[in-house]
Structure 1
Amino acid sequence: MPRKGMRSIFFHPPKFSPSPSPSRNFSSTPSSPSTHRISFSDSMMEDNIINAEAIITKWDPDSSSYAKITSLFYENRREARNFLRAVSNLQSAMQFYVADSSSSSSPQKLVHCQHLMQTAIKRLEKEFYQILAANRDHLDPESVSARSSTATTRSSTSDYDYDTEDEILISAGASISEVERDASLAMVDLRSIVECMISSGYGKECVKIYKIIRKSIVDEGIYRLGFDRTGSNRHLHKLDWEVVEIKIKGWLHAIKVAVKTLFLGERILSDHVFSTSGPIKESCFSEIAKEAALALFGFAESVTKCKRSPEKLFRFLDMYNAISELWPDIETIFSYESTSAVRSQAVASLIKLGEAVRDTFANFESAIQKDSSRSPVPGGGVHPLTKYVMNYVCFLGDYSGILSDIFADYPLEIRSPLPDSLLQNSPTAENPLSSIATRIEWLILVLLCKLDGKAERYKDVSLSYMFLANNLQYVVSKIRSSDLSLLLGEEWVTKHESKVRLYAANYERMAWNKVIQTIPPNPTAEIPLDEAREAFRRFNSAFESAYRTQASWVVSDAKLKDEIKVSIARKIVPPYRAFYEKYRVRLQSETSLDVLVRFAPEDLENHLSDLFYGSGSVSGSVSVSVSVRPASVRSQGSNSSSRCYG
């Protein structure tokens, strides 16, 4: 690539000394064009050597304590550019004397040039190291990324051809910060030194320094991110899961910052500093970042070797999600052939994590089917299995996109006697999410079938229906309040809400029909007083028995609880009120009326309102006789019952 610095060899005006140089021929004797051209070129080379020797000697670390402790690029940037130009011109002079075999003085001059070159390279190595070491903080990935947008604009010429330092700052933009300014200057200086040393045949020296310093920065960055590379990934499966989970949390943070900041910054920096040599910049980045990247992505694969259990599924999904989201960046940053192992490791980790997710998903289904809890839930409440499964399933809904990707090529295989015709959702090519919707629906179906079996453990059939209503209502509520409602669809939710109402209706029929049947079909019809007395007695007994039996039953959902209470009250209170109001006055003369007519309509409403809290103790216990008051007095205290019936 042509460079202005190299072109100046032939177009830079020679600096003549006050007295004629013995090597120059100023005789008026005509000379051949060839002789004149050779002497003129030789004169230019000598001037270049003299100028180079002056500045190289000045900054020779062994020549003075000032040169030993002072940074050329920090102390005088203009002189630093002259130093680089002098080295380039010295290299041209060496090439000239190598090619000039006709002159007897060429070998001696070449040896002198070589000595100067070694001194200059020693100085440049020192400067290169000092710039890298002193700018560890300034060459952080954020600053490097900010500089990268302006760095490419000068890729066609050497950076040490800037006329003024201000041009660097102008190219970086008016809003450049102090950190970005320092990073910009450091990157310019590093690239200038690299170009000079590579063109002079000393590329290996700067590459070695660069790799050592930048690799230590990457390793330190990984350590500060909380990822411990010293611990062997091969032994993760031997650790307690709690310990592994802590490591995973640290990894999830580290992998995002490492890829998007640390590795990206190193790729940008190496591409910029070694922009003149593709193989060198690839070699540098590969040696600096490859080892750390392999350890990071290899950790994910090692985690999948831990024993599978349902609670580990979400960590597998988190790791899968992290790598899949970073994949475009991974492909771009590690695009070199020498870093293909990093891409391969990332893909391998995705594959292993996908396998772990599918296996754990299957294990979760198996765990539901194998649940062996036998004790019925007191009061027909929500079973712990229902809570566990639905909380688990709702968390799965947050990963529906990732799960659809993981299960895309793995259709659901029914491994139980349950008919798949019960499923509403079926996978389609148009809607890939339907695949995971089918699987989640299947998990819920397995749960509901398991609950059907547990309902049979209740001796009271009405309580078994209460149990089914409670648990299905919990399932529907969890679906309705989560993203799963969108995934499964409104039709699925509506269908199962109807089943809840059906279970509740069956409960009411089984639990309260005996009470309802004690009230005459036509409560206002005329019947003998003996039959009226017997009707009151049968009602008292039936209501008291039902109430006592259900005093400890529970309905967990507040809305369902109110709906059931209102439904029961509407079936019992109005006909009882009509019967009560017709015959209470006619039985006024009874000596033990408070025993015969134990409940006023308001008492029924109050007692019903106390049900389904599961405490077993209620505010209006039927074991206590209810005093008979005038209807006008009782009606004054009946407003509180409107929450149950009205």
Structure 2
Amino acid sequence: MANNHPVKCLSFDSRFQDDNKSKDEKDIGKSYSFAARVSSDLNNDSNNDHKLRQPVTIHEVDEELENDQQHEAVAEEEEKEFTLDQLSEDIDQFILSLSSSSNDDNDDPPEISKEVAMFVKKVEAKIEEYESTAQDSIVFGRDVEGDSSFVAAVNRLSGLMEAIHGLKSGYMMPLLNQTSSVLHRVMVFLEEELRLILEEPVCQNSNNAADCSNSKHTDSSLKSLKGRLQSFASSAHPHDHHQDEGSGEGADSCELQEGGDPESEEQQEGKETTITFPYFSSDSVSSIRLIANAMIIAGYETECCNVFLIARRHAFEEELKKQGLDKISTDDVQKMNWEPLEGEISTWICVFKHCTSTLLLGEQTFYESVFPDRVRTSQFLYNDISYAILYILVNFAEAVALTKRATEKLFKFLDMYETLRDTVPWVETKTPMYSSEESMKELKSELWFAKSRLGEAAVSIFCQFENSIKGDNTKTPVASGAVHPLTRYTMNYLKYACEYKDTLEQVFQQHLRTEQTEEFSAIDHSSSSDQQRKLVDQQQQQHQQEEKHSPFASQLITIMDLLDSYLESKSKLYKDLSLRYIFLMNNGRYMLQKVKGSTEIHQVVGDNWCRRRSSDVRHYHKSYQRETWSRVLQCLNQEGLQVNGKIHKPILKERFKNFNQLFDEIHRTQSTWVVSDEQLQSELRVSISAVMIPAYRSFVARFGQIFTPGRQVEKYIKFQPDDIETIIEELFDGNPSSIARRKI
């Protein structure tokens, strides 16, 4: 039919415009939209010279209405005989004919068959049926075959509307209006259905399921989302309605387990409905795939993605909260005490690793299952959720890095640094899942920035550890010459730090600043020239090995040399020189044993340091023996006892008296001294016994007989050689009770 006649076009719902019309008039209006081109022919003849039609009688109108009602009744009977599946072939042929007409620039589009009108009405009736049973509950999944058939019909409806759009003629406007109205109604329903399915797992795990099921998310980000989606649509077809309608129906359905591994149906039999994240059963995944595919084909990709973004972000936030990680602002992190913050950091590390190793991998598998043939859409959604979740986690790391720096925070900072460092390769290996190089670079930049902040903080904390040594100005010596608390703290701290040796090497190479590598000089101006020379020698040796050591190793050795200098200064607080050497011996031996007991710290300081430290301890040992026992041995010296070739008894008596007095004093004082290292304690006792017992035994054997047996012997020979050995074994116990026992 030529288009030289005016066409009267009414929308599908024009019959509802006037509520005052009679039922018959409404029925006429209802049937008019598809018959407009027929009635227009009655107004004109081929020569355009016919007059207006004569007025019709009421009887003629009644007959016409009766005929229309009969035709409608017959049409309804015919509609009941056909299903959507049976009409699909006719729709496909009609769409094909429309496409051919559009490609051929034909001004005469094909006739609208009754099957086409019937198909649109069938879809409208089906959506009314779905809406009537919805009532804020999920409809899809109750009838899997029916859902698949309905979605296939919706896809054909989308194809029909797109084909009509391709025509330039207004002849199809009534059908376009009706198709557009029905399709929009379907999309509104599918969008809500998709939201309910995606939010169902969140509701099941929420403390307030009722509020969750009734929540309505706003579409505030829809405009920006449309712009972002345009960049993804450039290399993909926006309306791929020619793809197989059967794709996505059951064949790719899977149970998403933790880590994203699919599980077979046999394994699902007899299982509870509780599923690991992202909490979707195979049936739910199939329903989501059907709905999403239908929305994208209909041109509603933006709305579809918006539902996904809102629902999945909310699901992830709920999951993070379930794992124990709540959102904490930067200000709150700054105000927290270290003990609770340390617990939050431990939780953060576990959650971060769980996200990258399990949750996001499961999310990736989920998107691949929902969008098996739409890689761009899958990339976009995965990119968005990855960035959103990692950004939340990275913000916490940045806030922690900005807290006040203290020595006890170093190891947690390093744990966080390693967690972020290990995530960057994970992001790089997931490059195919990212929409563009720019988005991956942006995510890597966020991770790198937070990691750098933590690395800088770690270097600063370790370098500032010197201040904790320099800042100790206590003037009270450690009781009994024991190991200084700062020695224990420093060596344990360094030993633990060396367990992070590789990480600390990395952060020092990347973040060590010039001002933090200033040469240390800690010479005590009150020290003797020997001590000054010793410190200078140590610094020279350090300079010689600087090229061999990494920045971290150099800083660690600097701290240990600083500790040496500190201990030298603290040893001067002891007035007793013997106790001073015991103190230096204790601390030197403790440092040496810590280094030898840790492979990591031993590798950093090297064998030269160990040999030098062992030499220092031997030097302290010899100095102690010389200072303590040389005077005692002088009493046992045989020189000066003879006068005119005979033993001068008064001198001998004085020698024994001095020996008894000195030995009693040593026993009284040094039994309270402490040598905590058992091996060192044993070495000291053995060395003392090796010198004292033979000398005393020989002296008593040679000169003891000079005294008159009885009171004189008891007065001057107070100790037997065995007693000397027993007393020596009581030294360095730190227990004065042994003295009290001997007096009883």
TM-score range, shorter chain: 0.7 to 0.9
Matching of residue 81 in structure 1 with residue 148 in structure 2: yes
Matching of residue 415 in structure 1 with residue 481 in structure 2: no
The answer for the alignment partner of 2:577 in structure 1 is 461
Question: What secondary structure sits across from 1:353 in the alignment?
Answer: helix
Amino acid at match of 1:362: C
Separation in structure 2 between the aligned mates of residue 139 and residue 159 of structure 1, nearest angstrom: 34
User: Which of 590, 601, 626 matches 1:484?
Assistant: 601
Question: What secondary structure sits across from 1:408 in the alignment?
Answer: helix
TM-score normalised by length of structure 2: 0.68
Separation in structure 2 between the aligned mates of residue 481 and residue 46 of structure 1, nearest angstrom: 92
Matching of residue 605 in structure 1 with residue 725 in structure 2: yes
Matches within 5 A, 1:109-188: 109-136=175-202, 160-161=246-247, 172-173=263-264, 176-177=267-268, 179=275, 183-188=281-286
Matches within 5 A, 1:97-496: 97-99=164-166, 104=171, 106-136=172-202, 160-161=246-247, 172-173=263-264, 176-177=267-268, 179=275, 183-229=281-327, 231-234=328-331, 236-270=333-367, 272-274=369-371, 276-277=373-374, 280-285=377-382, 287-331=384-428, 335-336=434-435, 337-338=438-439, 340-409=441-510, 410=512, 412-417=517-522, 419=536, 420-423=539-542, 426=545, 434-482=550-598, 483-496=600-613
1:410-457 per-position Cα deviation (integer Å, ceiling 9, x unaligned): 37431325653233994668xxx8432222122111001111111122
User: Which of 499, 510, 525 matches 2:627?
Assistant: 510
- Over 3 Å counting, the alpha-carbon distance change for 1:475 and 1:425 in structure 2 is farther
Amino acid at match of 1:118: H
Cα displacement (A) at 1:249: 3.3
The answer for the alignment partner of 2:674 in structure 1 is 554
1:562-608 per-position Cα deviation (integer Å, ceiling 9, x unaligned): 11011100100022123323444554535421111111011001111
- Over 3 Å counting, the alpha-carbon distance change for 1:455 and 1:116 in structure 2 is same
- Over 3 Å counting, the alpha-carbon distance change for 1:584 and 1:304 in structure 2 is same
Matching of residue 501 in structure 1 with residue 618 in structure 2: yes
- Over 3 Å counting, the alpha-carbon distance change for 1:233 and 1:553 in structure 2 is same
Amino acid at match of 1:510: E
Higher gyration radius (CA): 2
8 A contact 2:495–2:595 mirrored in 1: yes
8 A contact 1:451–1:468 mirrored in 2: yes
Cα displacement (A) at 1:555: 0.8
Matches within 5 A, 1:10-49: 47=115
Cα displacement (A) at 1:213: 1.4
The answer for the alignment partner of 2:158 in structure 1 is 91
8 A contact 1:313–1:357 mirrored in 2: yes
Cα displacement (A) at 1:288: 4.2
Separation in structure 2 between the aligned mates of residue 413 and residue 549 of structure 1, nearest angstrom: 44
8 A contact 1:310–1:360 mirrored in 2: yes
User: Which of 628, 638, 656 matches 1:536?
Assistant: 656
Cα displacement (A) at 1:510: 0.9
Amino acid at match of 2:312: R
The answer for the alignment partner of 2:715 in structure 1 is 595
8 A contact 2:141–2:283 mirrored in 1: no
Cα displacement (A) at 1:396: 1.2
Question: What secondary structure sits across from 1:423 in the alignment?
Answer: helix
TM-score normalised by length of structure 1: 0.77
8 A contact 1:190–1:273 mirrored in 2: yes
Separation in structure 2 between the aligned mates of residue 369 and residue 353 of structure 1, nearest angstrom: 25
- Over 3 Å counting, the alpha-carbon distance change for 1:159 and 1:263 in structure 2 is farther
Matching of residue 545 in structure 1 with residue 665 in structure 2: yes
Question: What secondary structure sits across from 1:161 in the alignment?
Answer: coil
Q: CA RMSD in A?
A: 4.0
8 A contact 2:285–2:370 mirrored in 1: yes
Cα displacement (A) at 1:504: 1.3
- Over 3 Å counting, the alpha-carbon distance change for 1:457 and 1:85 in structure 2 is same
Cα displacement (A) at 1:244: 3.5
Separation in structure 2 between the aligned mates of residue 494 and residue 405 of structure 1, nearest angstrom: 28
Task: Flag structure 2 segments of 5+ consecutive residues without an equivalent.
Answer: 1-84, 95-99, 207-241, 256-260, 523-534
294-303 or 173-182, larger mean C-alpha shift: 173-182
Separation in structure 2 between the aligned mates of residue 43 and residue 400 of structure 1, nearest angstrom: 81
- Over 3 Å counting, the alpha-carbon distance change for 1:490 and 1:173 in structure 2 is farther
8 A contact 1:72–1:80 mirrored in 2: no
Cα displacement (A) at 1:519: 1.8
Separation in structure 2 between the aligned mates of residue 373 and residue 16 of structure 1, nearest angstrom: 95
8 A contact 1:394–1:479 mirrored in 2: yes
8 A contact 2:254–2:263 mirrored in 1: yes
Separation in structure 2 between the aligned mates of residue 527 and residue 484 of structure 1, nearest angstrom: 63
Amino acid at match of 1:252: I
The answer for the alignment partner of 2:125 in structure 1 is 57
493-502 or 362-371, larger mean C-alpha shift: 493-502
The answer for the alignment partner of 1:628 in structure 2 is none
Separation in structure 1 between the aligned mates of residue 168 and residue 427 of structure 2, nearest angstrom: 53
8 A contact 2:148–2:249 mirrored in 1: no
8 A contact 1:425–1:437 mirrored in 2: no
Separation in structure 1 between the aligned mates of residue 313 and residue 384 of structure 2, nearest angstrom: 8
300-309 or 501-510, larger mean C-alpha shift: 300-309
8 A contact 1:425–1:434 mirrored in 2: no
- Over 3 Å counting, the alpha-carbon distance change for 1:455 and 1:15 in structure 2 is closer
501-510 or 128-137, larger mean C-alpha shift: 128-137
1:21-67 per-position Cα deviation (integer Å, ceiling 9, x unaligned): xx9xxxxxxxxx99xx99xx95898757645653552343476x346
- Over 3 Å counting, the alpha-carbon distance change for 1:521 and 1:394 in structure 2 is farther
Percent identical? 27
Cα displacement (A) at 1:261: 3.3
1:492-514 per-position Cα deviation (integer Å, ceiling 9, x unaligned): 33431232122112111111111
- Over 3 Å counting, the alpha-carbon distance change for 1:62 and 1:469 in structure 2 is closer
Separation in structure 2 between the aligned mates of residue 102 and residue 308 of structure 1, nearest angstrom: 74
Question: What secondary structure sits across from 2:128 in the alignment?
Answer: coil
8 A contact 1:383–1:471 mirrored in 2: yes
Amino acid at match of 2:664: E
Amino acid at match of 1:480: K
Cα displacement (A) at 1:89: 1.9
Separation in structure 2 between the aligned mates of residue 312 and residue 281 of structure 1, nearest angstrom: 40
The answer for the alignment partner of 2:692 in structure 1 is 572
8 A contact 2:668–2:739 mirrored in 1: no
Task: Flag structure 1 segments of 5+ consecutive residues without an equivalent.
Answer: 1-11, 18-22, 24-32, 141-155, 625-646
Separation in structure 2 between the aligned mates of residue 602 and residue 423 of structure 1, nearest angstrom: 49
1:347-375 per-position Cα deviation (integer Å, ceiling 9, x unaligned): 22222222212222222112212320111
